[in-house]
Amino acid sequence: MSNKYNPAEIEPKWQQIWAEQQLYKTVEDPDRPKWYALTMLPYPSGDLHTGHWYAYTPSDAAARFRRMNGYNVFFPIGFDAFGLNAENAAIKHGIHPAKWTYANIERMRGQLRRMGAMWSWEHEAVSCDPEYYKWSQWFFRKFYDAGLAYREYAPVDFCPTCNTTLAREQVWGDDRHCERCGTPVIKKNLEQWKFRITKYADELLDMLDQIDWPERVKVMQTNWIGRSYGAAVVFRTEQGDALEIFTTRPDTLWGATFMVLAPEHPLVDAITTEEHCAEVEAYKEQAARLSEIQRGAADKEKTGVFTGGYAINPVNGERIPIWIADYVMMGYGTGAIMAVPAHDARDFAFAKKYGLEIRRVITGPDGATGPLEEAYDSKDTGEMINSGPFDGTPVAGAVAKVTEWLEANELGRGAVNYRLRDWLISRQRMWGAPIPIIYCPNCGIVPVPYEDLPVLLPDDAEFKPTGESPLKYHEGFRNVKCPECGGDAERETDTMDTFMCSSWYQYAYISPYWKKGEKLKADDMPWDKAAGDYWLPVDQYTGGIEHATMHLLYTRFFTKALRDLGIVNFDEPMLRLFNQGMILGPDGEKMSKSRGNVINPDEVVDRYGADTVRGYLMFIGPWDQGGPWDMQAIEGVHRFLHRVWAVVTEDAQLEKPLLEANRAPDPAQERALERKLHQAILKVTDDIQNFRFNTAIATLMELNNYLYKVRDASVVNSATWNKAVRDLILMMAPIFPHIADELWHRQGNTSSVHKQRWPIGDPEKAREEEITVVVQINGKVRDKLMMAPGTPAATLESEALRLSNVVKWLDGRSPRKVVVVPDKLVNIVV
RNA sequence: GGGUCGGUGGCGGAAUGGCAGACGCAGCGGACUUAAAAUCCGCCGGGGCAACCCUUGUGGGUUCGAAUCCCACCCGACCUACCA
């Protein structure tokens, strides 16, 4: 056995021993509290990068900590294995996506094992396995039966590079680009499958209060769902067509001097007069073209054209012109607005530009009624004017009063509007779970019967460089007999959004590939119910913030849908969430091949070992903050491990009697060490519990430095010393699992350090016997007192006033006031 | 435009109303070595010989006392956006 710390030797050794002893195998145990620790599963790109290490090793440390604290911890891992990369590789290299994917998974399993994490590998789930996607299809079928899955012809976002439609959540940024590849999306009119997530809009919003998630994720989801209260008011065109609008300001209805429709609005053609026809057509075309590129920045100059048509304002019977403009979106509200230029900035700008009437219906804060320089949009200050029966009504509370009046007069009603759209799940790609639907010329849309699941992906698909899904051209796949009439029919060739597969993986882990090879039924249970009842829901979820309005929204919806289907009996899938930050390259920029700032974790592990890499990543700073990789700073953590190794193994080799005969035990030193130890235990316990790994490691370093300081003193090999060394090893176990187990065994233990209980810090033993009390004069430190804790304020004051420095600074003046904070300070004010 | 988070030594960061800079990196000095590396010990915000003074983006405020709380502003990161 080598006496030097050699991670290359001990790390593979312990990884093998842990695997052989099935140290991390999980079984349900009703006698222990359960803890389901989940971390976002990787996409099998083929290489584990530093970001994976940054996401996974701290969550592993937290899981290990829970385990040492008596929890029965479930910490599974798997692969989100469908997706376009595999398909692109297939087109490029002519290999089937499954082959590419499974080869990558195999490689990544090896890389993941090098982290030394405590994953329950026996629960691994791979979403592209037919025994997995059989259930993804089963859920689709359940949603279809429940009316939560439907097919709709509508304008949708399409990525021309990925050759597929996208959900609204997967279109990002100002330029509306594809979340996956960055290409700006285009609009297409297509018939697509959607999930009715909007049914749960209120619940998704309101239940955010019940989960312990980071505030910024809650804010992002709140904004994304975008609930706003107001009124729906029905205007009429002169031809008599109803023209419904949504407004958050029904109190400004009397100020509506024109209306604006989105260029795509279905009534545009009906209201456009012959005279304006050419202009309107031209504008519509321009808007359509623009939306394909992009409608541009928000501060863009507003444009629009008059249709020649008029509408009747229901509250005052006024005839107002109808315009079309691209600042009104078909995808929000009804695609039509009443324009109140006096009290809406956008309408104001539009009215100014086109010379439309601006009529003030709310007074200014000072009672002003004159012409406006800019839109006045206060909901709190002012009163209504030029508003018929409401003149004189204070604007605060006016929305409710007007809404009531609208309802009483059957002109409109209170309404809630959401920004959230239904989740478009159709993807025109091959490498995904096929949507289990058959189109029959006689029977129409026919869902694949439960017992016929899964609808398998063909393994002889032909990949064309056109980027189109091979399923479309695969006769054997596409042609099918109708399950109802037995006649010739065709399968749906679109597959499901991969976010569908990752919406339920936390359940798949419970019993991976449940009912393997069995036929499914409508009333099946997708996992072992008893195991699910024990483990669910997830107690702690960790992962990146980039999924705030995608995966994290979808999986919440999914769980609510499952609850309504009677499959789960809770409302929220993940009770706590923590978002780690992003690890950056040494230059402080996002790691990327093109920047050449990528740190390859394999190489760093080769050089320093997994424990050092784990510890370094956790030592950089707060986990949710991320930060740049520092080539040199990692040495500090590595050095720390060497120093721990040295002090522990040297001590073990000493084999000297408990205390050398010529040295008397020094109770003061022993007490000091004991105090330091218990302070460290309390601090490290609190820190790890709250994911503050950086300060936890700093505390371990401090304790180790202290051991160095006292190692030549008479405490060495005393019971106090041995306890300190033992607890240091225990506290290192979650973050540095390999070196901890090695040192633990070298201390003579035979059972793994990872089966031990976390040390308990005793606040009594951690307490200082003497406290430095700062003595200030006018808030400036002038002297210090060493006092016993709990010394009464009066004593502190009189002691402080006797200090020579204090006497000198007072210079004969008498204190005006003395502030005493026991155990902290005395502040003398003159 | 709106929202969220942040701004502390040469660097990563600690301290969330009570001694600013824990811990680590880099740097400096010393021990060991023929020498270097490694290791160990010490120093390490700025000014000043010193007593002391200055110092947490800027300016105000609250307080006996502010990096921490409040107001205004500047800068940065992320999210979001003609949302009616």
Q: How far is the CA of A223 from the C1' of B3 (A)?
A: 9
**Nucleic strand B contacts from chain A, 393-422, CB < 7 Å:** 417, 419
Q: How far is the CA of A796 from the C1' of B17 (A)?
A: 21
C-alpha distance from residue A493 to each of A426, A461, A476 (Å)? 9, 12, 12
Q: How far is the CA of A214 from the C1' of B72 (A)?
A: 29
The answer to whether the C-beta of A302 is closer than 7 A to strand B is: yes
Q: Which of these, A556, A474, A450, A514, lies nearest to A197 by C-alpha position?
A: A556
Cross-strand partners of A541? A38, A577
CA–CA separation, A791 vs A22, rounded Å?
A: 55
Q: How far is the CA of A695 from the C1' of B15 (A)?
A: 11
Q: Measuring from the CA of residue A231 to each C1' atom, give the nucleotide at the shortest distance.
A: B84
Q: Which residue has the tokens 């155990």?
A: A823
Cα A414 to the chain's mean position, in Å? 34
Q: How far is the CA of A754 from the C1' of B13 (A)?
A: 30
Helix ranges (H only) for A365-491 are 398-408, 475-478
**Nucleic strand B contacts from chain A, 206-225, CB < 7 Å:** 215-216, 219-220, 223-224
The answer to whether the C-beta of A818 is closer than 7 A to strand B is: no
Q: Measuring from the CA of residue A633 to each C1' atom, give the nucleotide at the shortest distance.
A: B25
HSE, CB side, 13 Å, CA atoms: give it for residue A731: 33
CA–CA separation, A336 vs A467, rounded Å?
A: 38
Q: Measuring from the CA of residue A346 to each C1' atom, give the nucleotide at the shortest distance.
A: B82
The answer to whether the C-beta of A817 is closer than 7 A to strand B is: yes
Q: How far is the CA of A514 from the C1' of B27 (A)?
A: 60
C-alpha distance from residue A615 to each of A49, A610, A687, A736, A737 (Å)? 16, 8, 14, 7, 10
CA–CA separation, A729 vs A807, rounded Å?
A: 50
pLDDT attached to residue A664:
66
At CA A103, angle to CA A98 and CA A105, rounded to 5?
A: 95
CA–CA separation, A80 vs A457, rounded Å?
A: 17
Q: Measuring from the CA of residue A247 to each C1' atom, give the nucleotide at the shortest distance.
A: B84
CA–CA separation, A260 vs A274, rounded Å?
A: 19
CA–CA separation, A493 vs A435, rounded Å?
A: 7
Strands A444-447 and A495-496, bridge-based pairing: unpaired
Specify the CATH superfamily of domain A601-766.
Isoleucyl-tRNA Synthetase; Domain 1 (1.10.730.10)
Fold of A228-417: Isoleucyl-tRNA Synthetase; domain 2 (3.90.740)
CA–CA separation, A72 vs A26, rounded Å?
A: 8
Q: How far is the CA of A376 from the C1' of B28 (A)?
A: 64
Q: How far is the CA of A391 from the C1' of B5 (A)?
A: 44
Which helix H or strand E contains A73, and what residues bound it? strand A72-74
The answer to whether the C-beta of A307 is closer than 7 A to strand B is: no
Which helix H or strand E contains A693, and what residues bound it? helix A693-710
CA–CA separation, A84 vs A163, rounded Å?
A: 10
Q: Measuring from the CA of residue A702 to each C1' atom, give the nucleotide at the shortest distance.
A: B23
What one-letter code names the amino acid at A114? R
Contacts of A575 (CB under 8 A, 6+ apart): A211, A212, A537, A538, A539, A540
Instruction: List bases, strand B, within 7 Å of protein CB.
Output: 1-5, 11-15, 18-20, 22-26, 38-42, 52-53, 64-66, 78-84
The hierarchical CATH code for the domain A771-829 is 3.10.20.590
pLDDT attached to residue A297:
45
CA–CA separation, A454 vs A435, rounded Å?
A: 10
Q: How far is the CA of A710 from the C1' of B52 (A)?
A: 35
CA–CA separation, A251 vs A378, rounded Å?
A: 12
Contacts of A437 (CB under 8 A, 6+ apart): A144, A193, A445, A446, A447, A448, A491, A492
**Nucleic strand B contacts from chain A, 629-688, CB < 7 Å:** 630, 632-633, 635-637, 639-640, 642-643, 646
The answer to whether the C-beta of A327 is closer than 7 A to strand B is: yes
Which tokens is A400 given? Answer: 């409710």
Q: How many CB atoms lie within 10 A of CB A278?
A: 11
Q: Measuring from the CA of residue A337 to each C1' atom, give the nucleotide at the shortest distance.
A: B84
CA–CA separation, A271 vs A811, rounded Å?
A: 91
Q: In a 3-state reduction of DSSP, which class is residue A122?
A: helix
Q: How far is the CA of A583 from the C1' of B41 (A)?
A: 35
Query: Which DSSP string do the residues of A296-353 spell out, in sequence order?
Result: --TTSPP-EEEEEEEEE-TTT--EEEEEEETTS-TTSTTSEEEE-GGG-HHHHHHHHH
Q: Measuring from the CA of residue A174 to each C1' atom, give the nucleotide at the shortest distance.
A: B81
Q: How far is the CA of A25 from the C1' of B65 (A)?
A: 55
Q: How far is the CA of A59 from the C1' of B81 (A)?
A: 34
The answer to whether the C-beta of A780 is closer than 7 A to strand B is: yes
φ and ψ of A33, to 5 deg: -65, 140
Domain ranges of chain A: 228-417, 601-766, 771-829
**Nucleic strand B contacts from chain A, 169-188, CB < 7 Å:** 172-174
The answer to whether the C-beta of A585 is closer than 7 A to strand B is: no
The burial of A616, by beta-carbon neighbours within 10 Å (0-12 exposed, 13-18 middle, 19 or more buried), is given as buried
User: Nearest protein residue to B4's C1' (by CA)?
Assistant: A216
DSSP A384: B
Low-confidence ranges of chain A (pLDDT < 70): 1-2, 290-300, 651-664
Q: Which of these, A121, A111, A114, A123, lies nearest to A15 by C-alpha position?
A: A114
The answer to whether the C-beta of A803 is closer than 7 A to strand B is: no
Strands A78-79 and A319-325, bridge-based pairing: unpaired
Which tokens is A634 given? Answer: 């990692």
**Nucleic strand B contacts from chain A, 334-353, CB < 7 Å:** 334-335, 337-338, 344, 346
Q: Measuring from the CA of residue A216 to each C1' atom, give the nucleotide at the shortest distance.
A: B4
Q: In a 3-state reduction of DSSP, which class is residue A732?
A: helix
**Nucleic strand B contacts from chain A, 549-568, CB < 7 Å:** 549
**Nucleic strand B contacts from chain A, 131-170, CB < 7 Å:** none
